[in-house]
Amino acid sequence: MYAQRSALPGLVASTVPLLMAYAELDPEDFHRQSESAHAALCARSHCPPLLKLMGHSHMSEVYAINTADTSLTHPLRDFVSGRR
Protein backbone atom coordinates (compact mmCIF):
# COMPACT_ATOMS: atom_id res chain seq x y z
CA MET A 1 0.00 0.00 0.00
CA TYR A 2 3.05 2.29 0.09
CA ALA A 3 2.60 3.24 -3.57
CA GLN A 4 -1.05 4.16 -2.98
CA ARG A 5 -0.09 6.36 -0.03
CA SER A 6 2.87 8.03 -1.71
CA ALA A 7 3.04 11.82 -1.77
CA LEU A 8 5.17 11.70 -4.92
CA PRO A 9 2.35 12.15 -7.48
CA GLY A 10 1.20 15.30 -5.70
CA LEU A 11 4.75 16.54 -5.33
CA VAL A 12 5.44 16.04 -9.04
CA ALA A 13 2.23 17.89 -9.94
CA SER A 14 3.01 20.80 -7.63
CA THR A 15 4.34 24.11 -8.94
CA VAL A 16 5.76 25.11 -5.55
CA PRO A 17 9.51 25.77 -5.78
CA LEU A 18 11.54 23.09 -3.99
CA LEU A 19 15.01 22.66 -2.57
CA MET A 20 15.77 19.03 -1.85
CA ALA A 21 18.45 17.77 0.52
CA TYR A 22 19.57 14.58 2.19
CA ALA A 23 22.54 13.76 4.37
CA GLU A 24 25.49 11.49 3.68
CA LEU A 25 24.92 9.64 6.96
CA ASP A 26 21.19 9.13 6.40
CA PRO A 27 20.04 5.54 5.90
CA GLU A 28 20.63 4.31 2.35
CA ASP A 29 16.88 4.16 1.78
CA PHE A 30 16.71 7.96 2.34
CA HIS A 31 19.31 8.37 -0.42
CA ARG A 32 17.32 6.21 -2.83
CA GLN A 33 14.04 7.96 -2.05
CA SER A 34 15.58 11.43 -2.43
CA GLU A 35 17.22 10.59 -5.72
CA SER A 36 14.09 8.86 -7.01
CA ALA A 37 11.87 11.83 -6.12
CA HIS A 38 14.39 14.18 -7.72
CA ALA A 39 14.46 12.10 -10.91
CA ALA A 40 10.64 12.10 -11.06
CA LEU A 41 10.55 15.88 -10.67
CA CYS A 42 13.25 16.36 -13.29
CA ALA A 43 11.35 14.10 -15.70
CA ARG A 44 8.45 16.56 -15.42
CA SER A 45 10.75 19.51 -16.33
CA HIS A 46 10.68 20.77 -12.74
CA CYS A 47 14.20 19.92 -11.65
CA PRO A 48 14.88 21.37 -8.20
CA PRO A 49 18.34 21.64 -6.65
CA LEU A 50 19.34 18.47 -4.79
CA LEU A 51 21.95 18.70 -2.05
CA LYS A 52 23.84 15.79 -0.56
CA LEU A 53 25.15 17.15 2.73
CA MET A 54 28.45 15.43 3.35
CA GLY A 55 29.39 14.51 6.91
CA HIS A 56 25.84 15.06 8.14
CA SER A 57 23.06 12.91 9.52
CA HIS A 58 19.32 13.50 9.30
CA MET A 59 19.44 15.84 12.31
CA SER A 60 22.94 17.36 12.19
CA GLU A 61 22.21 19.11 8.91
CA VAL A 62 19.58 21.27 10.62
CA TYR A 63 21.67 21.73 13.76
CA ALA A 64 24.46 23.16 11.59
CA ILE A 65 22.37 26.20 10.61
CA ASN A 66 23.93 29.38 12.03
CA THR A 67 27.31 27.71 12.56
CA ALA A 68 30.55 27.81 10.58
CA ASP A 69 29.22 24.86 8.52
CA THR A 70 27.36 26.56 5.68
CA SER A 71 26.74 23.47 3.54
CA LEU A 72 22.99 23.90 4.05
CA THR A 73 22.79 27.52 5.20
CA HIS A 74 24.14 29.14 2.03
CA PRO A 75 22.10 27.08 -0.46
CA LEU A 76 18.99 27.58 1.70
CA ARG A 77 19.60 31.34 1.89
CA ASP A 78 20.12 31.51 -1.87
CA PHE A 79 16.99 29.46 -2.53
CA VAL A 80 14.78 31.61 -0.28
CA SER A 81 16.17 34.83 -1.75
CA GLY A 82 15.63 33.59 -5.32
CA ARG A 83 19.35 33.27 -6.14
CA ARG A 84 19.20 29.52 -6.73
Q: Number of folded domains in the chain? A: 1
Q: Is residue 2 a part of any domain in this protein?
A: no
What's the length of the chain?
84
Rounded Cα distance between 51 and 65, Å, is 15
**Residue 19 belongs to domain spanning:** 12-80
Mean pLDDT over each residue of the chain, to the nearest integer: 93
pLDDT at 72 over 70: yes
Residue 4 lies inside a defined structural domain of this protein: no
Task: Supply the pLDDT for residue 23.
Answer: 97
Using pLDDT thresholds of 50, 70 and 90, give the confidence band for residue 2: confident
Give the E-state strand segments of the chain in sequence order.
20-23, 50-53
Cβ neighbors of 35 (< 8 A, separation 6 or more) are: 50
The verdict on residue 3 lying in a domain is no
pLDDT (0 to 100) of residue 84: 64
pLDDT, tens digit (0-9, with 9 covering 90-100), for 29-61: 999 999 999 999 999 988 999 999 999 999 999
* pLDDT of amino acid 3: 82
Degrees to nearest 5, angle at CA 16 with 15 and 17 = 110
